[in-house]
Structure 1
Amino acid sequence: MKLTAIGPFVLVLIASCTHVVICSSNGNYADRLALLEFKKAISLDPHQAMMSWNDSTHFCSWEGLVGQISPSLGNLTFLKILVLSANSFSEEIPMSLGNLHRLQILSLHNNTLQGKIPALANCSKLTDLLLANNQLTGQIPVDLPQRLENLDLTTNKLTGTIPDSVANMTGLWMFSCAMNKIEGNIPNGFANLQGLQVLRVSINKMSGQFPQAILNLSNLAELSIAINNFSGVVPSSLGNSLPDLQAILLDENFFHGHIPPSLTNASKLSFIDISNNGFTGVVPSSFGKLPKLSLLSLQLNNLQASNKQNWKFMDGLANCSELSALSVAYNYLRGQVPDSVGNLSSELQGLYLGGNQLSGNFPSGIANLRNLVTVSLFENNFTSVLPEWLGTLNSLQVLQLSDNFFTGLIPSSFSNLSQLISIDLEQNQLNGQIPPSLGGLQMLQALLISSNNLHGTIPKEIFRIPTLVRIPSTLGNCESLEIIELDHNFFSGSIPTFLGNISNLHFLNLSHNNLTGSIPVALSGLQFLEQLDLSFNHLKGEVPTKGIFTNATALRINGNKELCGGPLRLHLPKIVIPLAIVLAFAAVSAVWFFRRRNQKTKAISLPSLGRFPRISYGDLVRATEGFARSNLIGKLFRDEKVVAIKVFSLETRGAQKSFIAECGALRNVRHRNLVPILTACSSIDSNGNDFKALVYRLSIMVDVADALAYLHHNHQGSIVHCDLKPSNILLDDNMVAHVGDFGLARFRSDSTGQSFADSNPTSSVAIKGTIGYIAPEQGEDVLASVRDTGAQILQSVLSIGLCCTKTSPNERISMQEAAAKLHGIQDAYLRGN
């Protein structure tokens, strides 16, 4: 495999410094040859880094490169340090590296290495094995060198459990297997790793109670077991057992009980994340004893605060002068936020209080926190007006105040927040108008103000914000809005259908954006729309044909290369049906349609059988999205009925007669297991060619025999299908079958079998049917075929997956008997026999 060099590697040969002393000339020669073999595995040297790899320079001074790791490196028997990190090495780690008895450091992290970790037991002097950020698979080897001090396997695809043998590496100070697929728990033997300082097993599939072995690791500085399936109670003595702890990550597990107050005895703690668990009780007020605390995330738990005593933790946190982020979101905190929130560190950048039951006025203490980047108070019960002093928080980028009861005006001082990216004021009781000054927020990407009591016009300045990328959904609620001009921006996505709800809209300009999708038909219903400009976007599909779209002088849609159809005066390309698709529909004359058995479906009322709805060619095109193969089932826009549409390929010989035959066969027959025709379409397509199609209504199946029994015995004159096969049987939502496609059907009123199309003098006398499904009556007389259809039924039902037995060729059974036999088979199948 060839690799493109994306950066240099460093090949360190510390042993070469004393090579002359400890090696013979033969040893020098062997090492040189090994490195030359390594060079051969390099596929590209864009920076000419390997020019020095020649006879003019001693090999100890050769520079390295990127490429595949050659097994020849296993011959560098005096190699002590091999660093090939941060490159694009791929494939497997050579097994030959296990021969490097003097190797002390092997660093291969940040590559794309695959396969299993090789056997390195013979590398008895290895202290650092760094394999992070690769694509290694398999399990962690049980025979890794026991002198390892630094073992980093982060971000691979390793499985299995942590071997007990890792606990025998008594000199280990860092162990990480985070971001893999490791299962089980941390081995109890880890209690022997007295020198362990960093333990990272986050983002795996580990489970069980809190690992008790951790309590014996008194030198541990970082504990990360987040995003696993650990459960139970966190030991109350955790902080006492780990006095040197600096970071603890227990988030996204299933721990419950109280937060251990002893955590505050680990006075070096700076990073605490125990979010997304089931902790209960109150937040310990002793957190204020952690002078180095930088991040405290307690969100998504069941913590409570309902009185002044419970809120003491906020008073204590004022002593944490390095606190930069505090989150107690999504808990059960009630009442007013204490004024002591304003005494928090001036370094605080993130304050997250959302998803609680907080009430009262907007917390006034926040005004003192001038370095805030994010203020999140959403989903609470705050009242009062939004204070103007919010505009003094000059570093603010995200303001989340939705789902509260804030009243009054949107502060005009928001215009001072030049760094603001997102404002979320939805679901409040704000009134007044949108301040035009918000148009000065040149970095704003989201302005969410729906579900308020705002009124007046939307300032045009809002739509001049260059970074605004989404058309506000609140526009649909502005019924009195008359002019919308959003042109020359960077709006993306589809044109919102809610624009069709603005009944008084006169002018709509969405030109020169990045809009995609089709033009909503709802826009054609705007009675007062005088000008519509959708030009220079990326719109596609058929243009509506009513309303504003009939006025070519008021409509601008140029610059959208994939639009088609529409009124003739627009001179757009017509819809063209590929011949292959039409032929496919002729070949596959019916479709399979089913959904999962447990999927709930709504009942669909049948149309009146006395009147056939008028369906046009355009209706069928829209129902099937241009007769796309992915849309064999169409949905008619008129009545939202799910239908099957059979299109006849009129270029095929006999297609006209087949259309007439099927109409004749199904004109007067009605049965629950026959595919009923909603209507027929005999028209011309967009190219002026003849077009014929039948629109079927879907119902249910296993009852194929019932349908044929009805055709043969319960009608005025027998109808013989002559083309029964899986593709002519439709399944509805409830897995009930319907027989369709009567293009070869024969009608028997006396002793002759007369085809519905036989009256045409050009009728072919060739054998009719499909290869593999030719009806037996083609070789016998019609009466015999009627008697033999019982076997045909069973064979066809077998071909669609039902369990049944086949009658012998000499057995003659009636259709009623066939139906009864099939019902018996079905009942046995449903009983599990």
Structure 2
Amino acid sequence: MKPVSLSFAEFRSCHLLLGIALALCFNRVSCTTNETDRLALLAFKAGIFEDPFRVLSSWNDSIGFCQWYGVICGRRHQRVTVLDLRSQGLFGSISPHIGNLSFLGEMWLQNNSFNQEIPPQLGGCAAYNELTGEIPRELGSLLKIREFALDRNNLTGSMPSSIGNLSSLEILFLSENNLSGSIPQVLGHLKNLQFIGFAANRVSGTIPSSLLNLSSLTQFDARSNQIQGTLPASIGLKLPDLADFSIFGNQLQGPIPPSISNCTKLDILQLGDNRFSGKVPSLENLYNLSWLQILRNQLGSGEPEDLNFLCSLTNNSKLRYVGISRNKFGGVLPICVGNLSSTLMAFDVRKNQISGKIPEEIGNFANVEVLYMNLNKLSGVIPSNLGNLRNLSKLLLSDNNLGGTIPSSLGNLSKLIYLFLDGNNFHGQIPPPLSNCLSLNWLDLSNNNLSGVIPSQLMSLSSLTIILNLSQNHLTGVLPPEVGNLRTLTALDISNNLLVGEIPSSLGDCTSLTSLRMGGNFFHGLIPQSIRSLGGIEELDLSCNNLSGQIPEFLTVFRSLKLLNLSYNNFEGVLPREGVFRNATGTSIFGNNKLCGGLSEFHLPNCISKSFKSRKINLVILSTSVILGVLGIALILAFVYLCWLKKTVMEPVSSSRDDSCPNVSYGTLLKATDGFSSTNLIGAGSFGSIYRGVLEVSETTVAVKVLHLVYHGALKSFNVEKRH
């Protein structure tokens, strides 16, 4: 066996633990019962590797262990009865020697880090080898313990079956750890158990039938585990005192047992996020129920009677929350919902198959704060008396078939924070009284048929800090300059409307914007320079408008900008290459035919510099001048030649020659030769062509020679012919 090298400090720790272990082994021979507790506490201390608040510094022989921090002893026997070290940031493991605290009645160790095995540097110390990140099975020796809390420690392993020995146990809290395995059958032996909680672990298997023997059980919290199977059909008959039954976030299936209605003391019933199916039974005997949560299951069948169970709750005077969303409930909301308790604070029926109208009786929910009815098939109009729900803070009616106009009475909801009406068929104008909702953070009216102008009062609602979405409507007019009052708004979407005019410069005052969508409108003019103030912008969409001018350089310094869409506008000039323009996948500039340059991925033509353009223009002017000059000289020469030819051809030979030339215009020659037609071509040489023509006035036949002055020597040839 390879020898282990230990430092002096590590040797002392090992020596201390070995001494404690030997003393505990011979406890009956050499130790008093009080000494057993002291040594057990020292063993517990030895398993702690980090003590950030130094609460265990008092655990030494300078004072008696009953005065140590977190330790309470009984007056009669001076034995440890309470160990309370909750939320002290202790880092280490639970020593199995804690099981020797035979008088311990309460142990509160929650919210620490008792999940660590022995550090590698102490691996050679035999006394440490028994320390792990699990619950020691030796805790099953604490026969007098009544309250046992180890939640929020990231403990591993499974619940030890030795827990079944704790016959006095009333409270067992093991939530928010990393426990696995199944629920021990032996828990059914704990006849005094009232509270059991092991939520947020990885416990699997089924709910053991032995738990139905715990007639004293008032709280069963097994949320967020991996428990399977079905609920026992007789659960309501065997657990009459059950007040809190929370098993949401598991893999349970089958129906909800009708016997659950016999748990008349139920205050909290949370069955959500499982696979329960079928109809919800009558809950008419649950007079004390305040919290009903059955969301995210497969309950209901899309039939008209699916929601009848809601009427069985109308005799309950304590109901505060009803959550039945994300199921398969069909039919219409029964009118009886208006008789639910006046204490109701949240009503969540979203994402079902509920059809029909919103009952006006919902306006009786005097104290409701949350009303979620979105993602259904609701039709009709919004009842105007919803404006009477003065405590309402969240109203979600989006993605239904609702129509009509948005009632102005919603402006009475002064506590409203979220208003989602998107994805419906609302028409008419946006009611200006919505600006009276002075707490409104999020307003979504998108995907409707709203028309008219955007109320300037709405743009002055400074409480809008999250999202203002008016997209996919038929809004007209300009974007009110009051938009600059939305200084803390995060996202503004007015895309795909009929808005006109220029982008108001006041938009630059909305310095908190991270998303700005204005595409699909008729905005024109330049991108205002004030937009440079939007330094935190991440998404900017100005596509499909009539914007023009050059793309501002300040867009290149927006370090947070990830998506930029300038497509289908009239931008011109050089496309920048820095900042977001280096990302061809995050930048779109299609449909701007006057842009040039940029990265090759944009497939734009190369830009022509101003100096090159100037030279090109000068060359064009020069070429035109040369061509015109040459053409002029050719015509003059042709005319001179015509004069000479007339003398030699048309005049009779005489000793006294008349040197005068007839005044013949170019138009006359053009007409005489039929536009210098090829049919009148009578000869061609190196320097010109000769055409036959008939002068209209005198009907004289003439020959017209047109010189090709672009050839070197043509003018010299003309002079030679003239002399002859």
Answer whether TM exceeds 0.5 for this pair. Answer: yes
Residue pair 1:81, 1:104 contacting (<8 A) in 2 also: no
Match of 1:278 among 275, 286, 291: 275
For 1:386, what is the secondary structure of its paired residue?
A: coil
Aligned letter for 1:378? N
How far did residue 126 of structure 1 move? 1.6
**Paired residue for 1:69, among 26, 35, 56?**
56
Say whether the 8 Å CA contact 2:395–2:419 is kept in structure 1: yes
Q: 1:81 to 1:347 in 2, by over 3 A?
A: farther
Q: Which residue of 1 aligns with 2:111?
A: 133
Identity of aligned residues (%): 28
2:296 to 293, 300, 306: 300
Corresponding residue of 1:252: 249
Structure 2 counterpart of 1:511, from 484, 497, 508: 508
Task: Give 1:102's aligned residue.
Answer: 79
Count of residues in Structure 1 that have an aligned counterpart in Structure 2: 514
| Residues 442 and 493 of structure 1: CA distance in aligned 2, closer, same or farther (over 3 Å) | closer
Q: Does 1:113 align with 2:100?
A: no
Q: Is 2:120 the counterpart of 1:123? A: no
Letter in 2 for 1:507: I
Post-superposition CA distance 1:45-98 (Å, at most 9, x none): xxxxxxxxxxxxxxxxxxxxx54432634765441784399xxxxxxxxxxxxx
TM-score by length of 1: 0.55
The 1:638–1:339 alpha-carbon spacing in structure 2 relative to 1, beyond 3 Å, is closer
Task: Give runs of aligned pairs for residues 323-334 of structure 1, distance below 5 A.
Answer: 323-334=319-330
Alignment of 1:220-231 (within 5 A): 220-231=217-228
The equivalences for 1:236-635 within 5 A come to 236-285=233-282, 287-304=283-300, 310-475=306-471, 480-485=476-481, 486-493=483-490, 504-508=500-504, 509-515=506-512, 526-529=523-526, 533-534=530-531, 536-539=533-536, 618-619=576-577, 624=582
Q: Return the alpha-carbon distance in structure 1 between the equivalents of residues 262 and 319 of structure 2.
A: 18
**SS of the residue aligned with 1:511?**
helix
Distance 1:456 1:175, change over 3 A: same
The reply on whether 1:160 has 2:157 as its aligned counterpart is yes
Partner of 2:209: 212
CA–CA separation in structure 2 for the residues paired with 1:380 and 1:370:
24
The alpha carbon displacement at 1:134 in A equals 2.2
Shift, 1:471, TM fit: 4.7
Structure 2 CA distance for aligned equivalents of residues 377 and 142 of structure 1: 50
Deviations 1:690-727 (A, max 9, x none): xxxxxxxxxxxxxxxxxxxxxxxxxxxxxxxxxxxxxx
Does structure 1 conserve the Cα–Cα contact (< 8 Å) formed by 2:465 and 2:489? yes
Distance 1:248 1:523, change over 3 A: closer
Which stretches in structure 2 are left out of the alignment for 5+ residues? Answer: 1-34, 116-132, 560-572, 592-602, 610-724
Q: Match for 1:169 among 166, 169, 175?
A: 166
The structural deviation recorded for 1:422 is: 0.7
- Would the alpha carbon gap of residues 410 and 293 (structure 1) be closer, same or farther in structure 2, given more than 3 Å must change? same
**Cα 1:258–1:187 shift into 2, 3 Å:** same
Q: Alpha-carbon deviations, 1:735-769, whole Å to 9, x = none?
A: xxxxxxxxxxxxxxxxxxxxxxxxxxxxxxxxxxx
CA distance in 2, matches of 1:213, 1:451: 55
Paired letter, 2:385: W
Distance (whole Å) between structure 2 residues aligned to residue 562 and residue 109 of structure 1 = 51
Tell me, yes or no, if the aligned pair for 2:152 and 2:175 is still in contact at 8 Å. Answer: yes
Q: CA 1:394 to 1:246, structure 2 compared with 1: closer, same or farther past 3 Å?
A: same
For the pair shown, which has the larger CA radius of gyration, 1 or 2? 2
For 1:815-830, list aligned pairs within 5 A.
none
Q: Which amino acid is the alignment partner of residue 135 of structure 1? A: S
Change (3 A) 1:265 1:398: same
Deviation at 1:313, TM superposition (A): 1.9
SS of 2:358 mapped into structure 1:
coil
| Residue pair 2:499, 2:521 contacting (<8 A) in 1 also | no
Q: Name which of structure 1's ranges 365-374 and 528-537 shifts more when overlaid on structure 2.
A: 528-537
CA shift in 2, pair 1:84/1:494, >3 Å:
farther
Which amino acid in 2 is paired with 1:240?
L
Three-state SS of the structure 2 residue aligned to 1:230 is coil
Q: 1:349: how far off?
A: 1.1
Label 1:197 to 1:521 Cα distance change in 2 as closer, same or farther (>3 A): closer
- Work out the CA distance in 2 between the residues paired with 1:115 and 1:43: 9
- Alpha-carbon shift at residue 192 of structure 1 (Å): 1.1
Q: Deviations over 1:454-496 (max 9, x none)?
A: 0011111112222212353434755744224321333355776
The change in CA–CA distance for 1:407 and 1:519 in structure 2 (over 3 A counts) is: closer
Larger deviation: 501-510 or 360-369?
Answer: 501-510
**1:274–1:474 Cα change, 3 Å:** same
> Aligned-pair distance for 1:433?
0.6
Q: Choose which of 188, 191, 194 in structure 1 pairs with 2:191.
A: 194
After superposition, the Cα gap between the structure-2 partners of 1:111 and 1:363, relative to the gap in structure 1 and judged at 3 Å, is: farther
Distance 1:561 1:453 in 2: 37
User: Any idea what the Cα deviations from partners look like across 1:616-665, whole Å, max 9, x if unmatched?
Assistant: 9954776646xxxxxxx99997899xxxxxxxxxxxxxxxxxxxxxxxxx
- Separation (CA, whole Å) in 2 of partners of 1:312 and 1:523: 46
Counterpart CA distance in 2 for 1:143 and 1:542 is 59
Contact 2:183 2:205 in 1 (8 A): no
Would you tell me which structure has more helix in proportion to its own residues? 2
Mark the CA change 1:73 to 1:128 in structure 2 (over 3 Å): closer, same or farther: farther
CA distance in 1, matches of 2:539, 2:273: 48
SS at match of 1:296: strand
Distance 1:624 1:148 in 2: 68
The alpha-carbon distance between structure 1 residues 200 and 365, as it changes in their structure 2 partners (threshold 3 A), is same
| Other-structure match for 1:793 | none
Q: CA RMSD in A?
A: 4.3
Give the secondary structure class of the aligned counterpart of 1:483: coil
Distance 1:541 1:78 in 2: 61
**Could you tell me which amino acid in structure 2 is paired with residue 203 of structure 1?**
A
- Whichever residue aligns with residue 109 of structure 1, its letter is R
- What is the identity, as a one-letter code, of the residue corresponding to 1:260? P
The whole-number CA distance in structure 2 between the counterparts of 1:309 and 1:365 is 19
Residues 473 and 438 of structure 1: CA distance in aligned 2, closer, same or farther (over 3 Å): closer
Q: Report deviation, 1:245.
A: 0.6
User: What is the letter of the counterpart of residue 337 of structure 2?
Assistant: V
* Paired position in structure 1 for 2:66: 79
Report the Cα distance in structure 2 between the residues aligned to 1:230 and 1:355, rounded to whole angstroms: 25
Q: For residue 223 of structure 1, report the CA deviation from its aligned partner.
A: 0.3
> SS of 2:433's equivalent?
helix
Matches within 5 A, 1:597-746: 618-619=576-577, 624=582
- With normalisation by structure 2, the TM-score equals 0.63
Deviation at 1:124, TM superposition (A): 2.1
1:479·1:504 contact (CA, 8 Å) conserved in 2?
A: no
TM superposition shift of 1:231: 0.9
Contact 1:488/1:511 (8 A) holds in 2:
no
| 1:352/1:84 CA distance change after superposition, 3 Å | farther
